[in-house]
Structure 1
Amino acid sequence: MRVLVAAFSHIFAEIVDPTGLFTDSRGLTRDTYAIKKELPAEDFNFVVLGDWGGLPPPAYTSELQLNGAKALMEYAKINPPEYVLSIGDHFYYNGVETVRDRAWERTFENVYDSQEMMVPWYPTMGNHDWLKLPEGTEGGQKGNGWAQIEYSAHGTGRWTHPDLFFTTEYTTSAGIKVKTILVDTPTLTGEYRDGAPRPIHSDENCDDPYNLDCELRALHPLDEEIAEWAWEWVEQELANSGDADYLFVTGHYMILDTGGIYDWELFRRLEPLMEQYKVSAFFQGHKHTQEHAVRSPKLVPAGAEETPGTVHFFTTGAGSLYDTESTIFQQLTGGFPGRSGCHPRFEENGNDNSRTVCHYYWATTKNDGEADSGFTSVNISADRAQVRFVTSEKINEDDKFSIGYEFDIPPRNVQ
C-alpha cells in the first residue's frame, strides 16, 4: 500500500522556484517565494497540524501521534484538505541532520500515508527542528532546519518548503482568496534554550509590552541578518494583502495564548502589524494544547484607550506529546492551569485575565495507550472560515474522531 501511495503522490511533487526578490532597508536581498493556485470549487478545506514529531529513534513515533494521525486520516476522508500547514517540531527531539534521516520515513511518510494526505504540506519549523546538542555531545541527531527545506526535492514530493519565509495563495472558483504568510519563528527569536524572550523586570520600559526599548532576556535570533530582513518582508506582505478575503499568518511559537503574552518579541513586533493589516487569525503551535484566544482590551500601549483584539490566536500543538502544565493541573485540581483565561476564577470577567480573553482550552490527560492528540481543520467559503479543533477522542464507541470546538471567522471585507 505504501509503495502505491508513494508512487501516486509524485503527481503532487513540486519544486518551487523563486517568484521574486526583496531587498530590505539595509540592502540585504533574498529570493522570495509565493505559491499561488486556482481551485475549481467554491469552497475548500485545509489542515493545521503542529508538534507532531513522534519520538527520537528507535521509537520514531508516539502513541499520541499515531492516535492523532488515525483521527486525521479518518476526518480527511470526509473533509479532504487541499493542503496541510505543518507548524513545527516535526521531529523530536533534535530534528533531522540530512534528507536521508530515517525519521523522514518512520515519523512522517509512513504515518500520514492515506491518499487524502498526499497533498502539499507547507511547513514552518519549530525549536526542536533547529535544536543543537551541546558541544562535545556524542551521538544523537542535531537539528538542521536547512535539511527540511532541502527535503522538498525528496520523499513523496508533498513536502513543499521553499524557504524559511514564504506565502501561499489559494483562490476558489467564486473568487474567494485565502493568503497565508508562513514565518520561521526560531529564526526571529531563537531556539528557546532558556525559555521564550521575556522582559527584564527592572527595566521600566517593560511596563509597556509594546515598547521596543524594553530589554528582553533570552532573545537570540538564529540568524540576525535574515531576521531583520524577514521583519521588513512580513510587513510588506501584510501591506500587499488587501485583496485577500482571508489573511492568515502562521508560525511555531505562540504570541498570545490563553494565559497571556508568550514570546514578547513576537508580540511587540508582529501583533500590532497583524491588527493594523486586519489579519484573520494566527495559527501557532509549541504548546501541546488546543486553545483559542484574543487580546484583552486591557492589553494596549501605555496611554491608549482600551480596544479589544481583532486577531484570533489558535494554538494547535497537540500532535504528539503531552502538555506538562495541563497534566499537572488536571491531576492536582481537575481543571485548567491557573494562568489560563479559561480558569473558573476569570469567569466573572468574561474569561478575561487582563492579557487575553479565552474562548477555548483543551489538552489530553489520559494515559499513553489512550492518550489523544489533535489538529485544526479550516473550511473556507464565501461566508466564513470555519475553524474546527478536532481530536482523536472517542465520545462513543464507534467514533473515530471528535470535534471539540468550532468558530466562524467572517471575511475581512465584512468585519
Structure 2
Amino acid sequence: MNLNIKHIPAFQKALSVIKRIESHGFQAFFVGGSVRDALIGREIGDVDLASSATPVEIMNIFDKVIPVGMEHGTVIVRYDGESYEITTFRSESEYQDYRHPDKVEFVTDIKKDLARRDFTINAIALDKNGDLIDPFHGQQAIQGKKIQAVGNPYERFEEDPLRIMRAVRFVSQLGYSIEEETRAAVQKQGPLLEKIAVERIAIEFEKMFQGNQLVQAIEICEDASLFQYFPIFRHYPDLSNDAKRIPYPFADFAEIISFFVHCSPELSVDDWTRQWKLSKQVKNDARAIHNAIQYYQDNGLDDWLVYQLPEKLTKPFSRVTGVLYSRDSAKLCEDVKMKREKLAAHNRSELAFQAKDLFDIFPNKPRGPWIGKLLGTIEEKVVSRELKNDYNEIKEWVIKWNPPGRD
C-alpha cells in the first residue's frame, strides 16, 4: 500500500532530513505514532525517524545533533526549525530493569527494527515515496481497530510492563479494542506494573484521561484489576466508578485531581500529588481549580471567582465543573470569558488605590499585616462592585469605615 504524503505537511517538511541521510548512503524511514496517525487520519504530532546510520554517522551528517540516548542509538536532530528523533535500526534482548534492554545491537534491516516495537499499529515504516513496510500487519489491525502486540504479548509486557498501560491508553485515545491474546496478557501480567516507576505510569494514566473512550479503558482496567497498582486507587477502588461519569477528555492531571478531590473530599490535592509524585505546577493548578469549584458550589459564577481564577485555567475549570454539576462546559467557559472581559480590575496593580496611598493617609501607622489585609478587602469590594475603582471613593471608604486598628 502507498500513502499519499504530498498533503501531509509534517512529512513533507521532514523529507529533506530523509533525503540528506540517504544522500550519504544510508536508509531512513518515518516510523512510530506519526505513521499510525496518518493511516488513521488523526492529526500528526512528533515525526520520528529510523535509520541504518549509527548515531555517530548521523552526527557527521547534521550540524545540530543532541545525543539524548547514544547507547540505545537515539539522537535528536535540529533541522529547519524542527526537532526529529532519529534512532538507528536495532534489535534488543533481555530487560533486567523492565525498561531498558541489556543488549542493543545495531542492524541494517528495518524489519528487524520494527520487530522490537510494542504493538502492530506502531510497527509500520514509511519511506520517502509513501510506500509502507508492514511486516506485522499493522494496517490490518488499524482497519479492524485492534491493539495487538508485536509477536508474543507476554514477552512484550515482560520487556517493559508500561506497555500494559500504553495498551489501555490507546483504547481510550483511539477507541480500539485489545486483541484477545494481548488482552489475556494484560490481565495476567498486571502485577508487573509494580516494577514500574510511578512517574512513568502517571504519564500514561494522564493520556488515558485525554481520550474520548475513557469509560472503555476504565472497564479494561477494572477487568484486569489494574487499579490496585495505581496510587490512591489501590485504597479507594470506588473512584473508578466516579471516573465513568467523565463524558469528555480532561487535558491534564490537574483536572483529574480536582475532579476526584471533589468526589472524595477526604483526599486532598497534596495527597494526590505526593503519592503520584507530580510536579509543583500540577499541584498549584489543581489547587486553583479545586478552590474555584468549591467557591462555585457556594456562590455560583460571579466576578470574584473569575478574578481569582488564573486565566489559563478557564477551560480546565469549565470542563471539571461541567462534569460535576451537569453544566455545558463550553457555555460555562464562554460565561467565564465574558465576565473576565468586564471585570472592574484584572489584578491588584489595576486598582486605583495602592499601598502607598495607605501610607499617605496613615503616615504614623507602622507597617504590618494590616496593609495586605486592607488592600485585600479593597480588592474584593472593587471586583465585586461594592466599591467603584476610583481613588477618591476608595479613600473615603478607607477613612470612614476602615481606619487601621492595632495589630
| TM-score w.r.t. length of structure 2 | 0.28
Higher relative contact order, structure no. (Cα contacts within 8 Å, ≥ 6 residues apart): 1
| TM-score w.r.t. length of structure 1 | 0.28
> Larger strand proportion, structure 1 or 2?
1
> Larger helix proportion, structure 1 or 2?
2
